[in-house]
Chain A
Amino acid sequence: MSGAAPLLIGASLGYVLILFAVAFVAERAARRGHGGWLRGPIVYTLSLSIYCTAWTFYGAVGYAARSGMEFVTIYLGPSLVMIGWWWGLRKLVRVARAQRVTSVADLISARFGKSNALALLVTIMAVIGITPYIALQLKSVSESFAIFTGAEASTSATGFWVALGLALFTLLFGTRNLNANERHDGIVIAIAVEAAVKLIALVAVGAFVVWSIGGGLGAMMDRIDASPLSTWEMDRSRWIGITMLAAAAFLCLPRMFQVLVVENDDERHIQVAAWAFPLYLMAMSLFVVPIAVMGLELLPAGSNPDLFVLTLPMSEGRTGLAVLAFLGGFSSATSMVIVATLALSTMVSNHVVMPIWLSAQTGGASQSGDVRNIVILARRLSVLGVIGLGYLYFRVSGGSAALAAIGLISFIGVAQFLPAMLGGLFWRGATRSGALAGLSVGFAVWIYCSFLPAFGPGAALPAAWFSEGPFGLVWLRPDALFGIAGIDPTVHAVLWSLGFNVLAFITVSLVTFPTPLERLQGAQFVNVFDTGRAAAGWQSSAATSEDLMIMAQRILGAREAQALFRDAARGQGLRGDVPEATPAFLETLERELAAAVGAATAHAMISQMSGGAAVSVEDLLAVADESAQMLEYSSQLEAKSAELSRTAAQLREANDKLTRLSAQKDAFLSQVSHELRTPMTSIRSFSEILRDEAGLTAVEKTRYASIIHTEAIRLTRLLDDLLDLSVLENGQVNLNMADGRLSEVLDHAIQTAEAAGTGALTIRRRRIDEGLPLTTDLDRLGQVFINLITNAQKYCSARDPVLEISVQEAPGGVEVHFADNGTPIPVQASRDIFEKFSRIDGSKGQGAGLGLAICREIMMRLGGNVRYAPDVSGNRFVVVLPEAAKMAAQ
């Protein structure tokens, strides 16, 4: 049979070249934005077929030959998930897109507060669970190749070349560039092609077996009933257990998560895949039993039933069909390895390599350009590492029985992610500690009950452990935990690992308290459909440029936005005014928007429109920071504006005062000139009379001269008063502080006033109160008293004018009251009596109106005050002496 080897190598190489070409063309088309057809629901459904690996392609027949219909459980689980759980899948896809999730580890870590410990744990579990699975694929390719060449020695060499080719393919199309949403058009389209190839190959072999060898459907049914598989024999627990396990693994396998969630382009594709993928699975398993039965019937006893798909056509001399079957198996193996490697390397580089690299960098992520290259490098190294590990495992295990059983064991391993994943999606109470506990416990039980025992007694675990338990603890036997023996090993491992996993997850979640970030993420995950208007619908990820246009117009203004879009369209070589929503354009747009609304907000808006990504917590925090800065800025502005308006008010006040003072000054000047002119006029006219009139009598001369004298005295007094006031107002006065008694000051003032005045005024005093000692300028105080008494003398209009002087203690000092019984000053006038030159209309007095003004100035200087208090029957002036004047003397 070695003659088939060149044909086989040629066919394989040609096939691989076609795959490379398809991937390359698809990638280019997607980059140019013509990739719409690449992302149809059919391609999505076909890409899901990486669930069917070489293990299912070849192994299903062997499985059926050994245990009848049990193989079908592997397909029934995913079928039920796709048919019945589309709503959960939709949520998973929505959450993953909203959170820009790139892997199952990323999902779990993002849900539980972006915990890298969780991501690391999931990554380690996935690597341990999946690496043997990759080895299994290498093994199946090598073995099927060996069937053709017949050379056992070539197995490892084949494995090496296959591993190398796969690594090359994954590096080329999986890690060429850093894609923000981790979608790989080339790989997806290549997988879809491979899916079609493996289906066609299996159906072709099946049809050949049924209609060419088997003699038609009816005859085939008879053969089945005549075969060793004649009756339904089934371990019930396995039937249920493996169906459930396959359903769980379908969701949790990193490679399935990659195609199901990460590579999903449009949620509506799930609608088609919901029935099309079960159809694919059914077609894949339709001919398994006939092939197994015919293999058992026709091939010599002892042939490996795992390779019936190949050996049956070969034994019938159908080399072409056999090569097709080989290509089918080759497709199954390669597509699985490519996607699994891609998924694992994403996890390894994001959660193992990058954190280590970043922590090794003392300065942290310094330049973005550098980090980008480093990430790609890390991704590439991880791809090589994962495939290398798979190859190493393949070489070391040497195709032992452990490898054949790894399919289900690996399923159990990854199924441990399910509680954390579903709990995170549907239960807000799930916490990081709960997820860590559940995953660790489930992982430990899986390692102990399933992974290690698979190497056989005495290989990884001591043989004694299987009979007597570890350290003599019988109830801890790996195949019969708690002494419950007799359960099928697979079901046993599923039961205990998932049981403890769920128990630990829920219990620890209930007793621990999540961090704020966890709670935020939890709410975003569980309530992903509650946010946003159109969230309940199915949405396509593509941001239409029209949406962007509308948004940009709102923010930038219609003309600017249109110009920006037109320029971008020209730049892309398009004729219209609307460019493609390429990342470069989005970046430009985001920068433009950022200028208007701030970087964080712009990023949130753009990412919400393109890819429907929700605003992450970081985005929100950034937005909050920006808003806080703005708030702070605006409050600063507010404070400044308040200060400004205060200053303005002060200025206005000062201006008013100045205006008032200026008016006062004008009034004062005109008053002064008026007051000076009146006596001057009479002095001038009488002195002219004295000079010019010759015939004046002595009496007349005396009279005129005395008038001139009186007016001159008046002028002098006025000038004295003015000088006095001016000195007082300018603060240039020197106070002669001296000790004395109030009574003495009053005595002196009354004597002076009475000596000058008419003497009609009766003054009443209460001397008993007047014994207060004082320290003040006694002369000035006396001047105030004289003024007040003289005023009473002059202006008191009563028939028997009486002035009552009383002294009262008051808070803040001593008050001396001067109350007369004259006509009260009108309220209007009483306000201005302390102003200069203010005289009450109609009063007969001849003063200049400066007396009270001087009184007030003096009292101000002495630290006291003088005020007018209207009385029921007269006028009352109150002189307030400060406390200091009184206290100092005591």
Chain B
Amino acid sequence: MSREITPPQVFLERRSYRRRRMLDALRLLPLVGVGLFLMPMLWPAAPSEVGEPVSMSAAVLYVFFAWLALIVSGALLWLGLREPLDAAE
């Protein structure tokens, strides 16, 4: 009378595990973005404030590279997610 009970699947298959972590990363990405764009708040905002003023060229480079990094990571994550996502549905 003993009935065999299959234990519930604890571990996902490797690909779907990877997919889930990528989705996690995608959800965390805006926090990274907010952090990156809050960085300039630490810079001196006016000549009167203490600290070495940040040159405009450096500021421009910082903002655009941070922006680009966000875009590229977003794009890579989405492109990575796309195949299995379409295949799964």
Contact = CB atoms under 8 A, between A and B. Distances in A.
Interface of A: 68-69, 72, 76, 79-80, 83-87, 221-222, 224-225, 227, 229-236, 239-240, 243, 271-272, 274-276, 278-279, 282, 286, 289, 534, 537-538
A224 B63 CA distance: 15
A233 B48 CA distance: 10
Contacts of B41: 236, 239-240
A232 B54 contact: yes
Contacts of B70: 79, 83, 278
Interface of B: 26-27, 29-31, 33-34, 37-38, 40-41, 43-47, 53-61, 63-64, 67-68, 70-72, 74-75, 78, 81-82, 85, 88-89
Given A69-B60, A231-B56, A282-B71, 13 more contacts: A76-B37, A76-B67, A83-B33, A85-B30, A86-B26, A221-B57, A232-B59, A243-B37, A272-B78, A275-B71, A275-B72, A278-B67, A282-B67
B27 to A, nearest CB: 7
Contacts of A276: 75
A534 B89 CA distance: 9
Nearest to B28: A84
A276 B79 CA distance: 12
A225 B55 contact: yes
B84 to A, nearest CB: 12
A538 B53 CA distance: 48
B55 A231 contact: yes
A272 B41 CA distance: 31
A500 B43 CA distance: 31
Contact of B47 (A69, A229, A233, A236): A233
B60 A275 contact: no
A278 B69 CA distance: 11
A820 B52 CA distance: 137
A271 B64 contact: no
Contacts of B33: 79-80, 83-84
28 contacts: A69-B56, A76-B67, A79-B71, A80-B33, A80-B34, A83-B30, A83-B70, A84-B33, A224-B57, A225-B57, A229-B56, A231-B53, A231-B54, A231-B55, A231-B56, A232-B43, A232-B44, A232-B45, A232-B56, A234-B40, A236-B41, A271-B82, A274-B74, A278-B71, A278-B74, A282-B68, A289-B60, A538-B85
Contacts of A233: 45-47
Nearest to B54: A232
A257 B88 CA distance: 30
Contact of B64 (A235, A275, A282): A282
Most interface-central of A85, A274, A286 (chain B CB within 10 A): A274
A520 to B, nearest CB: 29
Interface of B is mostly: helix
A552 B62 CA distance: 59
A490 B67 CA distance: 25
Contact of B53 (A86, A87, A232, A534): A232
Nearest to A536: B89
A274 B47 CA distance: 37
B85 to A, nearest CB: 7
Contact of B78 (A68, A79, A243, A275): A275
A537 B89 CA distance: 7
Contacts of B74: 83, 274-275, 278
B72 to A, nearest CB: 8
Contacts of B26: 86
A83 B45 CA distance: 27
Contacts of B47: 231, 233
Contact of A224 (B40, B43, B45, B60): B60
Contacts of B53: 231-232
A537 B53 CA distance: 49
B60 to A, nearest CB: 5
Contacts of B67: 76, 79, 278, 282
A239 B39 CA distance: 11
Contacts of A227: 56
A272 B29 CA distance: 15
A85 B74 CA distance: 12
Contacts of A236: 41, 45
B12 to A, nearest CB: 16
Contacts of A83: 29-30, 33, 70-71, 74
A80 B63 CA distance: 13
A222 B56 CA distance: 10
B32 to A, nearest CB: 9
The 8 A-B pairs with the shortest beta carbon distances in the complex, nearest first, are A84-B30, A275-B75, A275-B74, A221-B57, A231-B53, A232-B54, A232-B59, A537-B89
Most interface-central of A76, A221, A275 (chain B CB within 10 A): A275
Nearest to B81: A271
A69 B72 CA distance: 22
Contact of A232 (B55, B72, B89): B55
Given A80-B34, A239-B40, A279-B71, A271 B27 contact: no
A334 B64 CA distance: 28
Most interface-central of A86, A233, A240 (chain B CB within 10 A): A233
Given A227-B56, A230-B55, A232-B43, A84 B29 contact: yes
A272 B77 CA distance: 11
Most interface-central of B26, B55, B74 (chain A CB within 10 A): B74
